[in-house]
Amino acid sequence: MAKDELFLELQSVDEFIRRPGVEALAADHGSAPVTTAARDVIARLREGVASELLDKATLRLALDGLTGAIESHLRQALCYSLRPVINATGVILHTNLGRAPLSEAAQAHICETAAGFSNLELDIETGARGQRDTHVDRLFRSLLREAVSHERRSAKPQPVSTIVVNNNAAAVLLTLNTLAESGEVIVSRGELVEIGGSFRVPDVMAKSAATLREVGTTNRTRIADYEHAINERTRMLLRVHRSNFEITGFTEQPSTAELVALAREHGLPFVEDLGSGALLDLQNFGISGEPSVLDSLRAGVDLVTYSGDKLLGGPQAGIISGRTDLVARLRANSLFRALRVDKLTYAALEATLLAYVKRDPDAIPTLKMMRLTTKEIGKRAAAIAAHARSAKLEIEIVDGESVIGGGAAPSSVLPTQLLALSCSDLSAEQLAARLRASDPPIISRIEQGKVLLDLRTVFAEQDSIVKTALTTLGQEG
């Protein structure tokens, strides 16, 4: 009986919407979203009454605060779920944080391309239909030109062609399906990798309708293992870069040159999934052991696949570079149509590649972050610590390591200096949660009970935000 009485108080949504406070909200945000929010809030109150969580007094209280409840519900409903965060983890290519941040030129080119029409598939000179890949193919040609000269000079030199798909997983899928459907692909057992986000070589192989032919063992595979596995059903040899782990100790794998020679002898394409695919020699950036696209092509690899948003520092994309005749086959596969990328990706990629053509690596945020010195980072950290440390919030500057991430150069670490935080009345987890709750959220890492902030991955313009957030934290209860 009492319940029915309470339900009566909640009867008409219309009535609530006509309250002055709610009407003011509707004037600001439009009446449709306000009505929806009011309905949701009232429905929640009805549930409270039904489950006897609300009695008469608490319901009255809730109804008095109805305008505020509708407003906060509305704010949540109308704000973006995807929003910027500050990456203080020191992991440069963090898949959970969107991998590579884009250059200013890429951002600007995305904006102008997004805002209107473009010549995406139009040849402006002739007025005829064009191909969307031409916008980046010319830049790849220029960047990979040197690949043609060396090894291939004796044979008839072929220019290098490139096409772009949604991501590297798609690039591998398209390559396998085009070159090896219903046939066999030979891969070393030491390279049957899983990359984060459930890219597993055997699974992609199965989806491509090619059959995986495993050879060798986890730690040792010889060229003879590949040779013995070749039969009339073999369509290609595949090497997969072990992006996110290393095999050390008693190991062996054939050189690229041996695999190239074997593939040629049998007239088979040799494809390499490079994963990250550096377009520059990264030795100068303190990173070793990361194969470059150019090195592979020069060595005679027929096709290489790599990501756009890993070491290249561009948008999410899968890039396939190599023999023009094979790339033409990939383009002719109807799967290519399903995996193609949109104009915004081409815009971002074109701008990123232009920075490489201009030899201006500092324009690309990921490359710039890699090149920051410990001294520069330490200086910024000290400035923040001096301002933000308090009786409650202890801040030390300690030596540490940044990592490349994104499944690139797993053993390469970059020396850095970290802000190590500890708070008298919060655990490390609680402190990290507080930092995530600031606006914009600050993402840290925890090691040995300390919250660590690495400014290598924080844009210098964001230092003041970090400083303010830490100062506030040190003053709060």
Ligand X SMILES: *Cc1c(COP(=O)(O)O)cnc(C)c1O
Applying CB under 6 A, the residues found at the interface with ligand X are: 167-169, 195, 199, 240-241, 243, 273, 275-276, 307, 318, 407
Joined tokens for residue 376: 């520069």
Instruction: State the first-to-last Cα distance of the chain, in angstroms, to the nearest integer.
Output: 46
CB of residue 283 to ligand X, shortest distance in Å? 20
CB distance 268 to 230 below 8 Å: yes
CB of 322 to ligand X, least distance (A): 16
Rounded least distance, CB 87 to ligand X, Å: 18
Q: How many residues does the chain have?
A: 477
Nearer to ligand X, 169 or 435 (CB): 169
Q: CB of residue 240 vs ligand X: minimum separation in angstroms?
A: 5
> Nearest approach, Cβ of 443 to ligand X (angstroms)?
20
The answer to whether 64 touches 19, Cβ cutoff 8 Å, is: no
Cβ closest to ligand X, residue 167 vs residue 253? 167
Task: Give least dist CB 292 to ligand X, A.
Answer: 14
User: Whose Cβ is closer to ligand X: residue 195's or residue 268's?
Assistant: 195
AA letter at 40: D
Question: How far, in Å, CA of 176 to CA of 184, rounded?
Answer: 10
Q: Are 357 and 202 in contact (CB under 8 A)?
A: no
| Closest residue to ligand X, based on beta-carbon distance | 275
Q: List helix spans (H) across 358-427.
A: 365-371, 374-388
What does the angle CA 397 – CA 398 – CA 399 come to, to the nearest 5 degrees? 135
Alpha-carbon separation of residue 211 from 162, 202, 241, 262 (angstroms): 25, 9, 19, 20
Nearer to ligand X, 242 or 467 (CB): 242
Q: Residue 379: what residue type?
A: K
Dihedral, CA atoms, 319, 322, 325, 327, nearest 10 degrees? 0
Q: b vs e for 60-95, b when ≥16 Cβ sit within 10 Å of the residue's Cβ?
A: eebbeebbebbbebbeeeeeeeeeebbbbbbbbbbe
Which of 240/442 has CB closer to ligand X? 240
Q: Which is nearer to ligand X, 135 or 239 (CB)?
A: 239
User: Which segments of 122-181 are extended strands (E)?
Assistant: 160-165
Q: How far is the CB of 257 from ligand X (least distance, A)?
A: 21
- Minimum distance, C-beta of residue 167 to ligand X, in the bound complex (Å): 3
Neighbours of 323 (CB within 10 A): 18
Pick between residue 322 and residue 407 the one whose CB is nearest to ligand X: 407
Q: Which position has the token pair 């959970």?
A: 96
Q: Residue 195 or residue 259: which is nearer to ligand X going by CB? A: 195
